[in-house]
C-alpha cells in the first residue's frame, strides 16, 4: 500500500537546514494497522505530511497503492488525497461554519459526485461513527470526542484506501480516546490501511506494528507479529518487543 | 460546483457581516464616483460624430504668423473661421467628397400673412452638403439640391422644434415662410437633432457650444444676397478693421465663416492640403497674408482646440481612476486579510483533496459575489450622484444637465469596472491561499 | 518607547502586505488631496477676482431687427432716450458685446503697425458717450469720450475714422509697461493709429472673461449700425434692477413693431455663468476628494477591526503579561502612525510628481509646500481617528483570553 524508499526531506530557511527525514524507508502492506511514534521533533509530522501528499520530498521514491508519487503535479496529488487518503487530525480540523453533514460532504464535493450518492455516503459514514442524529449540528455544539468521530466520518466517507491519523486522541480524555481507537480498529478491520502517528506508547501498542522515528530515521520496528497480538494477551514490556 | 462555491461565499459573508458591508460599500462608492465622473466627462468631451472623425475636417487658414499672436503655441488662435473671399475660393476646389460653409444669421420669420408678430429665429446659413456630411436625420423631405445653393429659388429646412411650433409637427414640406421679404419654400423638416457640443459651429447662439442647433437652415448665398449681417462670432484683425457696409464686410479680412470638408481618403487629404498651402502661399506673395499657416482639423482636434474638451475634464477622469485605485487597494487589503485568516480552512480543504484551482475558484467566486453586490449598490449610488450633478449644473447652461442622465454606457462601465476591479483585488489573495502547501495551515492550530 | 516600538515593527514586518496596502492608499489619497486642494483654491481665487463692474444693478438686453427696415441708430437713440428718463435708471448706453458673457468682439492691439511688431488680443467694446458711466468704471487718467466724438457710420460715410480710444489699465501696462500710455498711439487690428485719451480702472470686458487676460479691453467711441441688432446696457439705482428690466422690456417690445427683445442678461447672472465651469469643477473635485478620504478611513478602520479579531489571543497574552489598556491603544495607534508615515512619504513624492505634471500641462502654479504639510496633518489625524475605535475594542479584550485555547 505504502512504499517509501530512502525518502529525504529538508527544510531550509535562510540560516538553517533541517533534515526532517533522512534516508527514510518504510513499507506498509494493504490492510495493515501501524503506529508511528517518536519524540517531538523527530520527524513524525513530516512523515505524515509526506505520506499524505501534503508536502513534497527531496529525494527517494514513494509509491502509494502502486502509484509512483514522485514528480506528480499538485493537481494530481490533490486528486489522490481526495480519493485514496483520509486524514484524522489531533485538532479535528472541522470547518467551524459548516454543520457535520456539510463537513463530511467536503471531500465528496471535490470528487464531483452526484448529490444522491453523496447523501448516501454521508449517511453511511455518520452511522458508522454513531453521529446520525447530530448531522445538522455545528462542530462547536459537539463534544471533543464527537467532533473527532465526525472528522473520522469525513475521512472515510470517500472510501479511501489509507487513513492517516495524526495524534487523533491528543485532545481527548482517556474514555473518548478509547472510543476513537476502537473506531479506527473497526475501520481497519473493514480493510482500510491505518497509519497512526502518536507519541503515546500505550496507543501505539494497539497497532499491529510499531515504527519508531528518531531524528528523521526509522529507529526500530516492532515486527508485524508483535504488538497487537500481545496486547490481546495482556500487557507486555516494550523492551521485549525489540529484536 | 459553482452553486457550492456560492453557498460557501454566503456563509463566509454571514460570518463577518460588518466586513462584508464595508467591502461592498467601498466598491459601491468607488464605482459610483467613477461612473458619475465618466458620464459627466463623456457628456462634456464626447465627439458627437465620432464615426466620421477621420473623414470630416474643419479648414482654417490663418493670415497671421504665430509670432504675431499672443498664444504662440496655438496656430489657429484668433482665426478659426474664414473670411468671405477665402471661403468662396476654397469651396470651389472640387477636391473634397463633400464640403460646406456655414454662418449664423438672426432672423424673424412669418408663417401667415396675417401674423402680426414675426417669430425670431436662429438661422444656419449653409449649403446642401451640410446635411449629408453631418448625417443629419430628416423627418419629412430632405436637403435642398446643389442648384438651390446657387440658384434663385429661396428654400428652407426647418428644425423639428420649429416645425412643431409653426405647424404643429405636421409635414410642412412645400409650404412657405416669409423671411426678409422672400418666400422660402420648405423642402425638409429635421428629426430631433441636437449634437452636443454643437461641434460644427461653436461660435454663437444661446448657450454657446452647448446651446441648441439652429431653428432653420437656408442656402448660404442668401446671406450675401440679402446683405444680412452674420450673428455669430466675427473676428477682424490683420487686414483692416470691421467695415460698416455689407460690401465692405465681404471684401474685408474679417473672418466669420466656418468651413468643413469631407476627405475620406488619404489621397484626397493630401490633395486638399496642397491646395490650401498653394492658396495661402499665393495670398502671402500678394501681401494679403503674413504667413502660410493652414490647417485641417478632425472633429476631436477641433473640439480640443476650442477647449471644449478641457484638460480639466481629463483631470477629473484621472481623479476618478485614482479613486477607483484606492477602492481597489482597499478591497484588496480587506480581502487579503479575510482570506488569509481563513487560510487554515482552505488548508483543510486542500488536505481533503481540493485542488489549487478549486480553492482559487472558491475564493474568486466569493470576490465575484462581493463585486456584483458592490456594482448593484454602486449603480443605485451613481443614480443619486447623477441627480446631484444635475442639481449642480441646473443654474448654468440648460444643456449641461442633459448629459448627466443615466446612459447604458454608464451601466456597462459600472458592471465591467466593478467585476474587473474586485476580481483583480481578489486574485492576489486567492492566489496566495492556493499557493501555500496545505500542511502549513494544518499544524498551526 | 524603544521597547514598545520594537515588537511593533516586527509585527508589521511579519505581515507587511496589509500595512503596505494601507500606506499605498494613504499615499494616493494624500497626493490627490493636496493637489485637489491647490486646484480648488486656485479656482476660488480666480472666481474671487473683482469684475470691476456693478454686477448687482446692471443688465443688458439685445434688441433685434425683424424687418430689416429699421435704422439702428435712430431705433437705439429712441430706446436710450426712453431709458434715460425711466425712473430708477442711473445710466444707459448702446454697446456691442455684453461684459462677462464671452460674446463680443476682439481685436489685435499693437504699438506698431501689425506686420512690424507684436500684438495683443484684446476685447473690443464699442460704446457711446455714456458707456463708461453705465459700466460704472472710473477713469484713472485722461478723459471720457465726448458726445461729438461718437462716430456713427452712415451710408455716406461708412468708415469715419476718429482715431481715439480708451484702454484699461491692464492693457495699458501690457502695451507700455512702465511708461505712461496716455496720449500714445496704438494700432487696432489695422494700419491707422488711434490715440489713447483715457485709461480706466480694470474691469472685465465682453471677451476672455474667465481667462488670464480678462482685464484687457479697448473701448472705441462708436455706435455700430451694421448689424441687425444692438445691445443696450443699463445700470439702475440700487435695488431697482428687476423693476426696470421688466418695464424696459415691455416698453421696447411694444414700441417698435419691427424690434424684438432677444436675450436679456443681468451681469450677476453673466458672472455666475462665466464661472460655472470652474465652480462645478471645484465642487466636483472637493466631493471626489472627500469620498476618497472617507474610503481611506473606512479601509483603515476595517483592517484595524480585523486585526483586533485576529490578534485577540496575542493581545490577551500582552494583557496577561501586564500591559495596560492604554498600552494596547498606544500599540495600535503607533502601528498606524508608522504605516501613515510611510504612506505620507510616498504620498509627498507622488503629490509633487502630480503637481509638477499639472504645472507643465495645466499651467497651474507650483505646489505650495504648505499644502503638503496640511495634507499630511489632515491624513494623520483622520487615520488615527479611524483606528481609534478598533484600538479601544482591542483594549477591552480581557487578559483571560490568553489561557483559553481556541
Q: Structural domains in chain A?
A: 2-241 (3.40.50.300)
pLDDT at position C15: 64
Res. C281: pLDDT tops 70: yes
Distance to chain A for B425, nearest Cα, Å:
25
Same domain, C245 and C285: no
User: Given a cut of 70, is residue C126 above it in pLDDT?
Assistant: yes
- A83–B353 CB contact, under 8 Å: yes
Supply the DSSP string of B272-326, one letter for each residue.
HHHHHHHHHHHHHHTTS-S---EEEE-HHHHHHHTTSS-HHHHHHHHHHHHHHHH
pLDDT score at B444: 43
B345 and B401 in a single domain? The answer is yes
What per-residue confidence (pLDDT) applies to B72? Answer: 34
Q: At what angle do helices B408-435 and B17-45 cross, to 10 degrees?
A: 140
- Chain C within 8 Å of B312 (Cβ-Cβ)? yes
Given a cut of 70, is residue A183 above it in pLDDT?
yes
Residues B39 and B57 in one domain: no
**In terms of domains, do B43 and B71 share one?**
no
CB < 8 Å to B352, chain A:
81-82, 87, 106-107, 110, 154
Cross-strand pairs, A36: A197, A211
Tell me the shortest Cα–Cα distance from A124 to chain B, in angstroms: 18
Q: Do A55 and B439 touch (CB under 8 A)?
A: yes
Q: Say if the Cβ atoms of B26 and C306 lie within 8 Å.
A: no
The Cα of C87 is separated from the nearest Cα of chain B by a number of Å equal to 29
Q: What is the Cα–Cα distance from C117 to A137, expressed in whole angstroms?
A: 94
C263, C97 in Cβ contact below 8 A?
no
pLDDT at residue number A230: 39
- Give Cα A35 to chain centroid, integer Å: 9
B251 and B387 together in one domain: no
In a domain, C335, yes or no: yes
Say whether both C253 and C283 belong to one domain.
no
Beta strands at B119-126 and C58-65: parallel, antiparallel or unpaired: unpaired
The answer on C370 and C290 residing in a single domain is yes
Q: State the total domains in chain B.
A: 2
Contact B241 C294 (CB under 8 A): no
The domain boundary residue, chosen from B238, B273, B305 = B305
Q: Give the whole-angstrom CA distance, residue B322 versus residue C296.
A: 12
CA-CA-CA-CA torsion sign (B244, B249, B251, B255): positive
User: What pLDDT does residue B51 have?
Assistant: 73
C102 or B354: whose pLDDT is higher? B354
Contact predicate C229/C62, CB 8 Å: yes
Amino acid C161: pLDDT: 62
Burial pattern B98-114, b for ≥16 Cβ within 10 A else e, equals bbbbbbbbbbbbbbeee
- Tell me whether residue C263 is in a domain: no
* Distance (Å, whole) CA A69 – CA A22: 18
- B365 and B351 inside one domain: yes
Q: Is C285 on the interface with B (CB under 8 A)?
A: yes
State which residue of chain A sits closest to B342, comparing Cα positions: A95
Within 8 A of A87 by CB-CB distance, chain B residues are: 351-352
pLDDT at B73: 36
Question: Does residue C192 lie in a domain region?
Answer: yes
Of chain A, the percentage scoring pLDDT greater than 70 comes to 91
Q: Are strands A217-222 and C229-236 parallel, antiparallel or unpaired?
A: unpaired
C121 plus C237 within the same structural domain: yes
Same domain flag for C129 and C200: yes
CA C365 distance to own-chain centroid: 14
What pLDDT is attached to residue B445? 38
In a domain, C271, yes or no: no
Whether the ω angle into residue A159 lies within 30 degrees of 0, i.e. cis, is no
Note whether B425 contacts C: Cβ–Cβ < 8 A.
no
In a domain, C53, yes or no: no
pLDDT the model gives residue C59: 93
- Domain containing C306 equals 2-48+276-403
**Could you tell me if C82 and C177 lie in one domain?**
yes
Residue C393 and residue C290 share a domain? yes
The pLDDT tens digits of the residues spanning B292-322 come to: 778 888 887 887 777 665 555 667 777 777 8
Query: What per-residue confidence (pLDDT) applies to A229?
Result: 44
Final residue of a structural domain among B283, B305, B327 = B305
Domain shared by B101 and B245, yes or no: yes
Residues C393 and C286 both lie in one domain: yes
Smallest Cβ–Cβ distance between C106 and the set B235, B322, B327 belongs to: B235
Residue B334 and residue C102: Cβ atoms within 8 Å?
no
Of C81, C102, C99, C97, the closest CA to residue C229 belongs to: C97
- Residues A12-35 have pLDDT tens digits of 877 788 888 888 899 999 999 999
Same domain membership, residue C281 and residue C235: no
Give Cα separations from B293 to A68, B70, B267, B285, C204 (angstroms). Answer: 80, 15, 21, 13, 31
Q: What is the DSSP letter of B191?
A: P
Parallel, antiparallel, or unpaired: how do β-strands B294-297 and C217-221 relate?
unpaired
Per the structure, the count of domains in chain C is 2
Instruction: Show which residues on chain A lie within 8 Å of chain B, measured between beta carbons.
Output: 45, 49, 52, 54-56, 74-75, 78-79, 81-83, 85, 87, 89, 91, 93-98, 106-107, 109-112, 154, 158
B321 touches chain C (CB under 8 A): no
CA–CA–CA angle B355, A168, A61 (5° rounding): 50
C285 contacts in chain B (CB < 8 Å): 316, 319
Bridge partners, residue C58, by sequence: C235
The list of chain B residues with pLDDT below 50 reads 69-77, 238-241, 395-404, 444-445
Considering the domain architecture, whether residues B299 and B401 belong to the same structural domain is answered as no
Is pLDDT of A228 > 70? Answer: no
Residue B355's domain spans which residues?
Answer: 2-47+311-443
Residue of A nearest to B445 (CA): A91
Residue where one domain finishes, among candidates B253, B274, B305 = B305
Subunit contact C277:B312, Cβ cutoff 8 A: yes
| pLDDT tens readout for residues B70-91 | 443 343 445 678 888 889 999 8
Subunits in contact with chain A (3 or more CB pairs closer than 8 Å): B
The answer to whether the CB atoms of C260 and B120 lie below 8 A apart is: yes
Q: Is the pLDDT of residue C260 over 80?
A: no
CB-based contact, C225 to chain B, within 8 Å = yes
Q: What is the pLDDT of residue C92?
A: 93
- Residue B236 sits in the same domain as residue B335: no
Distances in Å between the alpha carbon of B21 and those of A143, B418, C405? 34, 15, 30
For C294-310, how does the pLDDT look when each residue is reduced to its tens digit (9 = 90+)? 888 888 888 888 778 77
* B186 and B132, same domain (yes or no): yes
Q: Are B230 and B293 contained in the same domain?
A: yes
* Shortest CA gap B359–chain A (Å): 10
Chain C neighbours, 3+ Cβ pairs < 8 A:
B
C149: helix, strand or coil: helix
> Is residue A240's pLDDT more than 60?
no
Q: Tell me what the pLDDT averaged over chain C comes to.
A: 82
Residues C324 and C386 in one domain: yes
**B325 and B233 in one domain?**
no
* B294 and B145, same domain (yes or no): yes
Measured between beta carbons, which residues in chain A are less than 8 angstroms from residue B351?
52, 54, 81, 87, 93
Calpha distance C198→C202 (Å, rounded): 12
ipTM score: 0.81
Q: Residue A42 and residue A40: Cα distance in Å, rounded?
A: 5
C99 and C157 housed in the same domain: yes
Amino acid at each position: 500500500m505504502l512504499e517509501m524508499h530512502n525518502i529525504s526531506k529538508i527544510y531550509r530557511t535562510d540560516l538553517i537546514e533541517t533534515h526532517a527525514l533522512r534516508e527514510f524507508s518504510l513499507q506498509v502492506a494493504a490492510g495493515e494497522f501501524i503506529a508511528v511514534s517518536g519524540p517531538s521533533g523527530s520527524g513524525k509530522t513530516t512523515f505524515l505530511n509526506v505520506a499524505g501528499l501534503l508536502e513534497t520530498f527531496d529525494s527517494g521514491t514513494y509509491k502509494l497503492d502502486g502509484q509512483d508519487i514522485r514528480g506528480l503535479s499538485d493537481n494530481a496529488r490533490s486528486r489522490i488525497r481526495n480519493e485514496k487518503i483520509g486524514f484524522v487530525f489531533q485538532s479535528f480540523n472541522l470547518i467551524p461554519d459548516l454543520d457535520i453533514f456539510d463537513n463530511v460532504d467536503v471531500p465528496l464535493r471535490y470528487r464531483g459526485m452526484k448529490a444522491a450518492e453523496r447523501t448516501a455516503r454521508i449517511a453511511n459514514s455518520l452511522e458508522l461513527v454513531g453521529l446520525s442524529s447530530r448531522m445538522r449540528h455545528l462542530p462547536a455544539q459537539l463534544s471533543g470526542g464527537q467532533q473527532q468521530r465526525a472528522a473520522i466520518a469525513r475521512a472515510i466517507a470517500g472510501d479511501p484506501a489509507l487513513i492517516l491519523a495524526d495524534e487523533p486522541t491528543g485532545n481527548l480524555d482517556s474514555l473518548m480516546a478509547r472510543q476513537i481507537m476502537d473506531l479506527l480498529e473497526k475501520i481497519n478491520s473493514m480493510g482500510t490501511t491505518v497509519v497512526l502517528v502518536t507519541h503515546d506508547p500505550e496507543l501505539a501498542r494497539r497497532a499491529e506494528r510499531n515504527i519508531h522515528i528518531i531524528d528523521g530515521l526509522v529507529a526500530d520496528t516492532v515486527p508485524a507479529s508483535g504488538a497487537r497480538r500481545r496486547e490481546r494477551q495482556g500487557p507486555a514490556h516494550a523492551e521485549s518487543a525489540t529484536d | 460546483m459553482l452553486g457550492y462555491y456560492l453557498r460557501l461565499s454566503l456563509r463566509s459573508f454571514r460570518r463577518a457581516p460588518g466586513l462584508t458591508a464595508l467591502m461592498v460599500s467601498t466598491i459601491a462608492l468607488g464605482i459610483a464616483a467613477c461612473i458619475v465622473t465618466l458620464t459627466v466627462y463623456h457628456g462634456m468631451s464626447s465627439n458627437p460624430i465620432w464615426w466620421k472623425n477621420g473623414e470630416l475636417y474643419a479648414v482654417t487658414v490663418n493670415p497671421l504668423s504665430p509670432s504675431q499672436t499672443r498664444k504662440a503655441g496655438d496656430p489657429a488662435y484668433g482665426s478659426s473661421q474664414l473670411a468671405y473671399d477665402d471661403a468662396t475660393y476654397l469651396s470651389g476646389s472640387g477636391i473634397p467628397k463633400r464640403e460646406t460653409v456655414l454662418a449664423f444669421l438672426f432672423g424673424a420669420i412669418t408663417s401667415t400673412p396675417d401674423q402680426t408678430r414675426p417669430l425670431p429665429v436662429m438661422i444656419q446659413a449653409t449649403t446642401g452638403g451640410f446635411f449629408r456630411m453631418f448625417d443629419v436625420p430628416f423627418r419629412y423631405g430632405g436637403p435642398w439640391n446643389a442648384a438651390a445653393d446657387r440658384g434663385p429659388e429661396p428654400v428652407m429646412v426647418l428644425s423639428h422644434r420649429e416645425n412643431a411650433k409653426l405647424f404643429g409637427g405636421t409635414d410642412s414640406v412645400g409650404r412657405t415662410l416669409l423671411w426678409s421679404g422672400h418666400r422660402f419654400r420648405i423642402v425638409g423638416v429635421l428629426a430631433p437633432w441636437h449634437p452636443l457640443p454643437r461641434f460644427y459651429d461653436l461660435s454663437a447662439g444661446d448657450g454657446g457650444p452647448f446651446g441648441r442647433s439652429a431653428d432653420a437652415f437656408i442656402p448660404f448665398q442668401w446671406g450675401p444676397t440679402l446683405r444680412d449681417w452674420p450673428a455669430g462670432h466675427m473676428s477682424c484683425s490683420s487686414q483692416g478693421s470691421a467695415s460698416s457696409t455689407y460690401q465692405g464686410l465681404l471684401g474685408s479680412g474679417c473672418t466669420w465663416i466656418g468651413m468643413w470638408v469631407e476627405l475620406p481618403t488619404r489621397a484626397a487629404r493630401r490633395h486638399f492640403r496642397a491646395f490650401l498651402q498653394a492658396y495661402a502661399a499665393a495670398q502671402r506673395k500678394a501681401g494679403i497674408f503674413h504667413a502660410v499657416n493652414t490647417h485641417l482639423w478632425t472633429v476631436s482636434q477641433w473640439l480640443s482646440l476650442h477647449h471644449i474638451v478641457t484638460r480639466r475634464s481629463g483631470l477629473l477622469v484621472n481623479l476618478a481612476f485614482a479613486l477607483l485605485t484606492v477602492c481597489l487597494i482597499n478591497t484588496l487589503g480587506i480581502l487579503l486579510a479575510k482570506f488569509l485568516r481563513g487560510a487554515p480552512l482552505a488548508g483543510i480543504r486542500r488536505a481533503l483533496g481540493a485542488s489549487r484551482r478549486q480553492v482559487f475558484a472558491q475564493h474568486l467566486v466569493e470576490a465575484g459575489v462581493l463585486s456584483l453586490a458592490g456594482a448593484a449598490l454602486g449603480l443605485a449610488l451613481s443614480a443619486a450622484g447623477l441627480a446631484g450633478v444635475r442639481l449642480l449644473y441646473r443654474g448654468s447652461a440648460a444643456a449641461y444637465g442633459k448629459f448627466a442622465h443615466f446612459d447604458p454606457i454608464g451601466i456597462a462601465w459600472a458592471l465591467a469596472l466593478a467585476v474587473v476591479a474586485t476580481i483583480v483585488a481578489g486574485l492576489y489573495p486567492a492566489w496566495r491561499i492556493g499557493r501555500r502547501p496545505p500542511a502549513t495551515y494544518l499544524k498551526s492550530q | 518607547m524603544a521597547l514598545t516600538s520594537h515588537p511593533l515593527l516586527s509585527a508589521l514586518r511579519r505581515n507587511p502586505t496589509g500595512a503596505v496596502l494601507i500606506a499605498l492608499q494613504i499615499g494616493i489619497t494624500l497626493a490627490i488631496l493636496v493637489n485637489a486642494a491647490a486646484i480648488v483654491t486656485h479656482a476660488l481665487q480666480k472666481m474671487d477676482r473683482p469684475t470691476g463692474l456693478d454686477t448687482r444693478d446692471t443688465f443688458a438686453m439685445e434688441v433685434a431687427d425683424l424687418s430689416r427696415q429699421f435704422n439702428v441708430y435712430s431705433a437705439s437713440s429712441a430706446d436710450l432716450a426712453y431709458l434715460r428718463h425711466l425712473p430708477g435708471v442711473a445710466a444707459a448706453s448702446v454697446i456691442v458685446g455684453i461684459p462677462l458673457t464671452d460674446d463680443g468682439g476682439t481685436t489685435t492691439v499693437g504699438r506698431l503697425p501689425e506686420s512690424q511688431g507684436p500684438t495683443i488680443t484684446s476685447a473690443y467694446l464699442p460704446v457711446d458717450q455714456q458707456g463708461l458711466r453705465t459700466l460704472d468704471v472710473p477713469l484713472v487718467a485722461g478723459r471720457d469720450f465726448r458726445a461729438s466724438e461718437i462716430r456713427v457710420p452712415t451710408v455716406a460715410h461708412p468708415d469715419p475714422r476718429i482715431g481715439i480710444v480708451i484702454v484699461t489699465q491692464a492693457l495699458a501696462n501690457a502695451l507700455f509697461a512702465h511708461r505712461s500710455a496716455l496720449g500714445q498711439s496704438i494700432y487696432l487690428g489695422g494700419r491707422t493709429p488711434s490715440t489713447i485719451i483715457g485709461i480706466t480702472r480694470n474691469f472685465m470686458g465682453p471677451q476672455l472673461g474667465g481667462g488670464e487676460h480678462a482685464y484687457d479691453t479697448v473701448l472705441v467711441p462708436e455706435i455700430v449700425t451694421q448689424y441687425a441688432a444692438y445691445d443696450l446696457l443699463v445700470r439702475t439705482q440700487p435695488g431697482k434692477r428687476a423693476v426696470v428690466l421688466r418695464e424696459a422690456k415691455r416698453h421696447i417690445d411694444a414700441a417698435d413693431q419691427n424690434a424684438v427683445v432677444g436675450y436679456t442678461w443681468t451681469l450677476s447672472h453673466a458672472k455666475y455663468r462665466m464661472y460655472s465651469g470652474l465652480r462645478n469643477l471645484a465642487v466636483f473635485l472637493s466631493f471626489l476628494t472627500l469620498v476618497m478620504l472617507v474610503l481611506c478611513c473606512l479601509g483603515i478602520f476595517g483592517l484595524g477591526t480585523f486585526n483586533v479579531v485576529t490578534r485577540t489571543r496575542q493581545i490577551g497574552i500582552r494583557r496577561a503579561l501586564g500591559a495596560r489598556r492604554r498600552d494596547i491603544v498606544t500599540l495600535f495607534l503607533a502601528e498606524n502612525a508608522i504605516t501613515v508615515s510611510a504612506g505620507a512619504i510616498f504620498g509627498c513624492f507622488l503629490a509633487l510628481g502630480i503637481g509638477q505634471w499639472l504645472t507643465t500641462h495645466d499651467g497651474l502654479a507650483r505646489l505650495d509646500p504648505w499644502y503638503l504639510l496640511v495634507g499630511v496633518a489632515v491624513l494623520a489625524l483622520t487615520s488615527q481617528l479611524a483606528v481609534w475605535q478598533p484600538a479601544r475594542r482591542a483594549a477591552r479584550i480581557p487578559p483571560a483570553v490568553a489561557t483559553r485555547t481556541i
